[in-house]
Structure 1
Amino acid sequence: MNVFFIRHGESMGNRQGKIQGWMDFELSELGIKQAQLLAAYSENLALDYLYSSDLTRAYDTAKAIAARNHLDVRKWTKVREVHLGPLQGLSRPDIYERFPETKERSILTSGLDGTESVEQLTKRCRFVVEQLLLAHQNDNIAIVSHGGFISILLTYLLAGEQWPSLHRAFQIGNTSITHVEWTKEQKPVIHYTNQTIHLSSLLEPSNKIGLL
């Protein structure tokens, strides 16, 4: 089974510097362009199925992929972004001012009242992996999700239930692709993370040196 975890295109929340969580934002103009370039590139992935978070920024990104690959988008709430409760809609400086304890911890796993707990996130990661292995052992799957959740899921794949003890070392950019293959022994192999080669045409000419 090959799974391509894809972050949504730039959203209006990203552009405004807001921590989004479960807040719903549309794609920005740049995000729409990113999604279109991603969709064209996705034709190389030979996808069999396409899942998406139900939040607009992810679902609209997935719809662009679906149109180029003649697939239906299956909404899956389990791959939503981390629920961040009182932090949602705030900028990082505002969060650090109102909740100074977050300076010492990750915003995604702060433990603040009203945010998704480590235990809940662990359960969600376990469920996603179990369901994929149950339904798609021989398929190529794309899942359009969110930067925070994808980085946590990758850390879970490395460490299982002990993932909270690790530093999350994954950078997940807008419309980046992360390829994970599960072997016949149902062990994950991470081929690459955060690939954004499809966005090269958006770079300024002076920044393209060295891309080849």
Structure 2
Amino acid sequence: MVVLHIYLVRHGETDENRQGIVQGQLETNLNATGREQSRRMAQALKDVQFVHAFVSNLGRAVESAAAVMKVHPTLKWTVHPGLRERYLGELQGKKRSSAENPPSVEPQEQYVQRILQWWDRDLFDCEILQQQFESDRDEVRNVLVIGHGSYLSNLVKALGSHKGYDVGLAGKGKAYNTGITVVEISDRHALRVEWCNIRTSNISMEWKRVW
């Protein structure tokens, strides 16, 4: 039986992150800290053999992925708009003044459905992953996903609430910049979730392997 380890990584820090400015689908760039975080994240993952990688098409995620490409130069990537962060409408580019969302914000239910559509159709139904499940050997296959904090936390929560996966308390904490969450999947069921157990957001971090 093939077991998948899906590595979910948030992009590196941006100036907007640091200043508390809402980004959503706004195009922003990594700052110096974010670039260093991404470099260290890439070094942390350099010995993981990935069969494929997916990345949001927003610049800060692509820029984070570029650091991984330097240590995994032959890894094939899919840049996918389905991994884009939640659209936050008129809030984008501003600091929040209220917890309530205006009508221009992508509705939560629609947002979650978009996330699950990517998981079901674009991740699990893609030819590359289907080929992995055709193996009759007991093997572990690693898949890398680089995206956004809200998106990844909502993905993990939706795997529990909509898919019935055992995710425990995963997804309820903060997704740190370049923090790594590992979801272990067997027969499309989550066996284990290590929510942001691997921290690369601190410049002086020490790499900790989950497995």
1:45 is paired with a residue whose SS is: coil
Provide the rounded CA distance (Å) in 2 between the counterparts of 1:90 and 1:197.
Answer: 28
Q: Secondary structure at the match of 1:179?
A: strand
Q: Deviation at 1:16?
A: 2.4
Q: How many Å apart are 1:168 and its aligned residue?
A: 5.8
Structure 1 position 199, deviation (Å): 4.8
1:182 equivalent in alignment to 2:174: no
CA distance in 2, matches of 1:188, 1:167: 12
Q: Secondary structure at the match of 2:9?
A: strand
Structure 2 length as normaliser, TM-score? 0.79
Corresponding residue to 1:22 among 22, 25, 37: 25
1:160 — aligned with what? 162
- Is the Cα–Cα contact under 8 Å of residues 182 and 188 in structure 1 kept in the other structure? yes
Map 1:1-212 onto structure 2 (within 5 A).
1-70=4-73, 71-92=75-96, 95-96=97-98, 102=100, 110=101, 112-131=102-121, 132-135=123-126, 136-137=129-130, 138=132, 139-160=141-162, 169-184=172-187, 186-199=188-201, 201-202=203-204
Amino acid at match of 2:83: V
Structure 1 unaligned segments of length 5 or more: list them: 103-109
| Residues 200 and 13 (structure 1), Cα distance of their counterparts in 2 relative to 1, 3 Å cut | closer
SS of the equivalent of 2:50 reads coil
User: Whose helix fraction is larger, Structure 1's or Structure 2's?
Assistant: 1
Residues 1:161 and 1:69: Cα distance change in structure 2 (over 3 Å): closer
Which residue identity lines up with residue 134 of structure 1 in the other structure? D
Q: Shift of residue 167 of structure 1? A: 11
Contact (CA 8 Å) 2:181, 2:198: kept in 1 or not? no
State the Cα deviation string for residues 35-83 of structure 1 (Å, max 9, x = none): 0000111113211111111111110001111221122432111111111
- Paired AA for residue 159 in structure 1: S
1:32 alignment partner, SS class: helix
Note if contact 1:15-1:28 (Cα within 8 Å) is conserved in structure 2.
no
Give TM-score scaled by structure 1 length. 0.79
Aligned to 2:135: none
Could you list the per-position Cα deviations for residues 85-104 of structure 1 after superposition, in whole angstroms to 9, with x for gaps in the alignment?
Answer: 01111113xx22xxxx62xx
Aligned-pair CA distance for 1:27: 0.3
Contact 1:66 1:73 in 2 (8 A): no
Find the counterpart in structure 1 of residue 138 from structure 2. Answer: none
Q: Sort the Cα spacing of 1:198 and 1:22 in 2 relative to 1 into closer, same or farther, 3 A.
A: closer
Partner secondary structure for residue 46 of structure 2: helix
Q: What's the % identity of the aligned pairs?
A: 26
Q: Which has the higher strand share?
A: 2
Residue identity matched to 1:55: L
Alignment gaps of 5+ in structure 2: 133-140, 207-211
SS of the residue corresponding to residue 202 of structure 1 reads coil
Equivalent pairs, count: 186
